[in-house]
A = this chain, B = another copy of it.
Amino acid sequence: MSIAPYTDLSRLCIHTITTKPWDIETAARRYAAAGVKGITVWRDALEGRDIRQTGNMLRNEGLSIVSLCRGGFFPATDKNKRKLAIDDNRKAIEEAAALGTSLIVLVCGADPAQNLEDSRKQIQEGIETVLPEAAATGVKLAIEPLHPMYADTRSAINTLAQANDMAEAIHSPWVGVAVDVYHLWWDPALEQEIKRCGENDHLFAFHVCDWKSPTTDMLLDRGLMGEGCIPVRQICSWVEATGFTGFNEVEIFSTQYWKEDQPVFLEKIIKAYKEHT
């Protein structure tokens, strides 16, 4: 199995939040000019815009719209809040269809006022509730397992095994999994669970970045590939081995990088992508 780095940018996708200081028009223009071929759109980047026109703008720049981030946050002890979450996920599905992307990433949610098992039941119920709309619009849903340090409020699904379990349980062509090295790198079962995910045809998305030592913020201190301790290239090779030919999506939340000159940061992303993924 090859673990050579990527020599071109044909499978490089960048998340709009990675270059948060740029509006989506600037991001699209800059990504395209740099040879980046894919974009994942965070919903905040669409605020105040006609979503259909924005989708056309992205395609006119030559960008594939890889996914919309994010749906999810299904669990709540309060029934009304669960209803609001369903409404919001239906809205996200409409937005994805209008934008012209066939994938939504789900940050599934958790409510610290209840146990994780109950949150997981509500996640599964939530996904199943919006499945008809997903199928009707041709939008797939990717369950993203989140690092256990987010188990209190962001996701009760914290390992790839759990995400695989849930995707298997739901058993729909519209539901799969998003693998993010930041959340999963520490897991001793990662290689085998990536294999399982691929065999199930559930590997819908792959996100890369790195874990810095020290990490100074639990949310907003992600590193560029090669800057930390994650064996990014090794994990890429496991993903490749499944036959995955989708985009490698750079998703970095970093107050440090957001403060930098964004064109310089974009160059760093591309360099890191070529050298470390």
Residues from chain B with a CB closer than 8 A to the CB of A115 are 231, 234
A215 at the interface (CB under 8 A from B): yes
Question: What residues of B have a CB within 8 angstroms of the CB of A211 in the complex?
Answer: 152
Task: State the CA gap A237–B260 with chains docked (Å).
Answer: 50
Contact A112–B149 (Cβ < 8 Å): no
Q: Give the docked Cα–Cα distance between A228 and B113 (Å).
A: 8
Contacts of A116 in B (CB 8 A): 186, 188
- Choose among B112, B162, B231 the residue that contacts A229 (Cβ–Cβ < 8 A): B112
For A218, the closest partner residue in chain B by CB is B218
CA distance A112 to B228 in the complex (A): 7
B-side contacts of A162, CB under 8 Å: 188
CA distance A116 to B211 in the complex (A): 13
Please, how many angstroms separate the alpha-carbon atoms of A270 and B215 in the complex?
Answer: 33
Which residues A2-22 have CB closer than 8 A to chain B?
none
Partner of A152, one of B113, B215, B218: B215
Q: Does A48 contact B (CB under 8 A)?
A: no
Interface members, chain A 209-227 (any B CB < 8 Å): 211, 213-215, 218
Interface residue A153 (Cβ < 8 Å from any Cβ of B): yes
Choose one: B113, B149, B186, B231; the contact of A218 (CB below 8 Å): B149
- Of the listed residues A112, A116, A186, A228, the one surrounded by the most CB atoms of chain B closer than 10 A to its CB is A186
Q: Judging by beta carbons under 8 Å apart, are A112 and B213 in contact?
A: yes
* Closest-CB distance, A99 to chain B (whole angstroms): 31
Is residue A241 within 8 Å, beta carbon to beta carbon, of the partner chain? no
A46 contacts chain B at the CB level, 8 A cutoff: no
Number of interface residues of A (CB under 8 A): 26
A231 to B188, CA, bound (A): 25
Rounded to whole angstroms, the CA-CA distance of A188 and B166 in the bound complex is 13
On whether the beta carbons of A153 and B112 are closer than 8 Å, the reply is no
A135 contacts across to B, CB distance below 8 A: none
A140 adjacent to chain B (CB < 8 Å): no
For A228, what are the chain B residues with a Cβ–Cβ distance below 8 Å?
A: 112, 152
Distance in angstroms from A158 CB to nearest chain B CB is 5
Give CA–CA (A115, B230) in the complex, Å.
Answer: 8
Can you list 21 A-B pairs with a CB-CB distance of less than 8 A?
A112-B229, A113-B229, A115-B231, A115-B234, A116-B186, A116-B188, A148-B148, A148-B186, A148-B187, A149-B149, A149-B215, A151-B229, A152-B211, A152-B213, A152-B214, A152-B229, A153-B213, A153-B214, A158-B186, A159-B188, A162-B188
5 nearest A-B residue pairs (beta carbon): A112-B229, A151-B186, A149-B149, A148-B186, A152-B213
